[in-house]
């Protein structure tokens, strides 16, 4: 069995939905879908159900787009619950299902689905993050559509989810590796947004900076940036696995080209990786 990952499918954008439908079946392999499938629970369901027919196992974590409240959508935690219900109905494994034991080759590994949000802590110290972004004409749609109800703020919701995730991660047996799966990157130093650098306040929380070491991660899977990268830091591989908006991938290559192998994973000496010295 191989474990692949792809995120930011954004299936309502022209060409993206068809591209995801064209991914060939891999009935012996598993797939991680790392968020930003759609704002609509029905589309999340249909996309995951379709992928579930083609892969032996599908793990899914919501992104910020799933948590947007459009028109009649519930808000905040209730919207999250609606998305999780849709994903489970499609047969996908979600952050509400705990960690999953990797059945393939290699060391004992827990694949851990997370949905940790952000707390604006990736902004520079001492600035008002929203005003700092606005100086560069960055106005994140999350500010209008991602509601924290019943929490007082997205940051408070983020910290509650981090607390719950730490309790879950403490249940992984000693000596096991982990693969940490979250829509938002776990480390601020790996948030590189050359076109929109001041979008970084919406990209994660400093709370998770040391989680890969603390929880023995072999690989961390994220999306959200729409900037595909592979980084190695202190022996941990960080994969940003976005497909992204139509202009951000090449239609002639098909979405299949963008599936990233997570496990067993590429040879560390393949030369594909970027080495980062933070």
Q: Enumerate binding residues for Fe ion (CB under 5 A).
A: 8, 36, 63-64, 224
Rounded CA-CA distance 132/111 in Å is 36
Nearer to Fe ion, 63 or 121 (CB): 63
DSSP secondary-structure letter at 91? Answer: T
Nearer to Fe ion, 64 or 178 (CB): 64
Least distance to Fe ion from the beta carbon of 83, Å?
13
Least distance to Fe ion from the beta carbon of 258, Å?
13
Nearer to Fe ion, 8 or 231 (CB): 8
Nearer to Fe ion, 86 or 140 (CB): 140
Please report where in the chains the tokens 């022209």 appear, as a residue. Answer: 14
Least distance to Fe ion from the beta carbon of 162, Å?
18
Contact predicate 257/6, CB 8 Å: no
Least distance to Fe ion from the beta carbon of 27, Å?
28
Least distance to Fe ion from the beta carbon of 202, Å?
8
Instruction: Using the CB atoms, write b or e for 100-110: b if 16+ within 10 Å.
Output: bebeeeeeebb
**Residue 67 Cα distances to 62, 73, 103, 143, 224, angstroms:** 8, 9, 31, 12, 13
Rounded CA-CA distance 172/189 in Å is 26
Nearer to Fe ion, 1 or 43 (CB): 43
Contacts of 235 (CB under 8 A, 6+ apart): none
Nearer to Fe ion, 100 or 184 (CB): 184
Least distance to Fe ion from the beta carbon of 200, Å?
13
* Pick from 220, 244, 217, 194: nearest CA to 7: 244
* Pick from 181, 243, 235: nearest CA to 208: 181
């Amino acid at each position: 069995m191989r474990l692949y990952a792809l995120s930011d499918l954004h299936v309502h954008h022209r060409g993206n939905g068809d591209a995801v439908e064209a991914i060939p079946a891999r009935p012996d392999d598993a797939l991680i879908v790392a968020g930003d499938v759609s704002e609509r629970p029905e589309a999340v369901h249909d996309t995951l159900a379709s992928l579930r027919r083609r892969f032996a196992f599908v793990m899914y974590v919501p992104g910020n787009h799933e948590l947007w409240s459009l028109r009649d959508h519930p808000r905040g935690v209730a919207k999250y619950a609606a998305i999780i219900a849709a994903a489970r109905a499609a047969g996908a494994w979600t952050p509400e299902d705990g960690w999953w034991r990797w059945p393939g080759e290699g060391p004992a590994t827990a694949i851990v689905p997370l949905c940790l949000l952000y707390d604006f802590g990736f902004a520079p110290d001492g600035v008002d993050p929203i005003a700092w972004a606005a100086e560069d004409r960055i106005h994140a749609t999350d500010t209008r559509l991602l509601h924290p109800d019943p929490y007082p703020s997205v940051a408070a919701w983020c910290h509650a989810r981090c607390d719950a995730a730490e309790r879950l991660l403490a249940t992984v047996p000693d000596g096991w590796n982990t693969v940490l799966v979250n829509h938002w990157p776990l480390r601020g130093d790996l948030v590189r947004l050359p076109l929109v650098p001041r979008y970084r306040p919406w990209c994660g929380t400093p709370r998770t900076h040391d989680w890969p070491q603390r929880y023995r991660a072999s690989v961390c899977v994220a999306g959200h940036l729409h900037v595909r990268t592979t980084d190695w830091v202190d022996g941990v591989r960080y994969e940003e696995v976005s497909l992204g908006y139509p202009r951000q991938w090449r239609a002639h290559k098909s979405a299949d080209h963008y599936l990233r192998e997570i496990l067993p994973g590429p040879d560390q000496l393949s030369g594909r990786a970027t080495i980062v010295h933070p």
